[in-house]
């Protein structure tokens, strides 16, 4: 059977660990050439080594998605090395949780900057080459929190709700150039991000998940593969929940 992403070039932000690294691993196993970017140099280096162990072409770039000039540099380096960009996975994200009463302005700004502005910066930088080649797939990693809200996560919820609105707008603007823009809204996925939550909130969360278990990064990666492949050519502006039925 031929591979689903043979020779496709993908950029994955926040690719040093967690969901981003898993997406990169699945995509290269399906024949893609990957560019992983992250702010965390040590994890980035380890991720690059792991991902290229079986001969896959993986370029690692230390960049901060909040900085438009660094994002442009990433796109130029990708074009220099691989000649095109077929897929962008906007995955870099952070949390700075606090109740609204106690949320600092700096926590609001940091989360909005990485999660929402970072996604905007990356879409903006890849859209020209994608529009020119009349082909592209953009997948934004949002969150079910962006759909339902969550006490203690006003900044995160607003950023992810913003990502969903941005997804739909970009989908409308780019559809005529054959560039699909979709979002994934994961529920509770077991990564470093969720490891730091208190046990009591994890137990309470589990009771709300009909399948009775937390999700794994691979659950999100498989949905990203579907949205990045030809299987989803007639889908754009969609938000797919990967949450074990938590939000229906």
27, 82, 108, 156: which one is catalytic? Answer: 156
CA distance 77 to 84: 10
Q: Select the residue interacting with ligand NDP from 193, 205, 206, 239 (CB under 6 A).
A: 193
- Determine which helix (DSSP H) or strand (DSSP E) holds 160, and give its type and residue range: helix 154-174
Answer positive or negative: Cα dihedral of 16, 21, 23, 27. positive
Asked if 194 interacts with ligand NDP (CB under 6 A), we say: yes
Region 18-57 residues binding ligand NDP, contact defined as CB under 6 A: 18-20, 37-40, 43
Nearest residue (CB) to ligand NDP, 83 versus 210:
210
The residues near 235 (Cβ < 8 Å, ≥ 6 apart) are: 180, 182, 227
Nearer to ligand NDP, 44 or 85 (CB): 44
Report the nearest approach of ligand NDP to the CB of residue 216 (Å): 10
- Considering CB under 6 A, how many residues would be counted as binding ligand NDP? 30
CB of 133 to ligand NDP, least distance (A): 25
Q: Is 162 in the site for ligand NDP (CB under 6 A)?
A: no
Stretch that binds ligand NDP, among 4-12, 49-57, 86-94, 175-183 (CB under 6 A): 86-94
- Alpha-carbon gap, residue 140 to 223, rounded angstroms: 11
Is residue 234 annotated as part of the catalytic site, yes or no? no
Query: In the set 143, 167, 182, 232, which binds ligand NDP (CB under 6 A)?
Result: 143
Question: What CA–CA distance (Å, rounded) separates 82 from 87?
Answer: 12
Q: Which of residues 58-77 bind ligand NDP (CB under 6 A)?
A: 64-66
165-173: long-range pairs with CB below 8 Å, 24+: 166/116, 166/119, 166/120, 166/123, 166/140, 167/140, 167/142, 167/237, 167/239, 168/237, 170/123, 170/127, 170/138, 171/236, 171/237, 172/237
Length of the chain equals: 248
* Kind plus residue range of the DSSP H or E element containing 124: helix 118-132
Closest to ligand NDP by CB, 93 vs 136, is 93
**Pick from 44, 47, 82, 43: which is nearest to 61 by CA?**
44
Q: What residues contact residue 102 under an 8 Å CB cut-off, 6+ apart?
A: none
Q: Given the structure tokens 């809200």, which residue do they identify?
A: 149
- Range in contact with ligand NDP (rule: CB under 6 A) among 52-60, 127-135, 188-196, 233-241: 188-196
Rounded least distance, CB 37 to ligand NDP, Å? 6
Q: Is 189 in the site for ligand NDP (CB under 6 A)?
A: yes
- Nearest approach in angstroms of CB 113 to ligand NDP is 7
For residue 23, the minimal CB distance to ligand NDP (Å) is 9
| Cβ neighbours, 10 Å, residue 134 | 10
What residues make contact with ligand NDP under the rule CB under 6 A? 13-14, 16-20, 37-40, 43, 64-66, 91-94, 114, 118, 141, 143, 186, 188-189, 191-194
Instruction: Name the residues annotated as catalytic.
Output: 156
């Amino acid at each position: 059977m031929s591979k689903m992403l043979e020779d496709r070039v993908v950029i994955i932000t926040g690719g040093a660990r967690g969901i981003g690294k898993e997406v990169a691993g699945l995509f290269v196993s399906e024949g893609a050439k990957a560019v992983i970017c992250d702010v965390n140099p040590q994890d980035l280096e380890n991720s690059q080594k792991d991902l290229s162990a079986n001969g896959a072409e993986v370029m690692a770039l230390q960049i901060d998605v909040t900085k438009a000039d660094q994002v442009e540099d990433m796109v130029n380096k990708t074009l220099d090395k691989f000649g095109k960009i077929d897929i962008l996975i906007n995955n870099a994200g952070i949390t700075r949780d606090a109740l609204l009463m106690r949320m600092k302005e700096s926590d609001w700004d940091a989360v909005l900057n990485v999660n929402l502005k970072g996604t905007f910066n990356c879409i903006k930088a890849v859209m020209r080459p994608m529009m020119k080649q009349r082909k592209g797939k953009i997948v934004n990693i949002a969150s079910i929190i962006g759909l339902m809200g969550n006490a203690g996560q006003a900044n995160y919820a607003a950023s992810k709700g913003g990502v969903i609105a941005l997804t739909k707008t970009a989908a409308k603007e780019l559809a005529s150039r054959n560039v699909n823009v979709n979002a994934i809204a994961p529920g509770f996925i077991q990564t470093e991000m969720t490891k730091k939550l208190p046990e009591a909130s994890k137990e309470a969360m589990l009771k709300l998940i009909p399948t009775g278990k937390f999700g794994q990064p691979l659950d999100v990666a498989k949905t990203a593969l579907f949205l990045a492949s030809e299987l989803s050519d007639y889908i754009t502006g969609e938000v797919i929940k990967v949450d074990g039925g938590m939000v229906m």
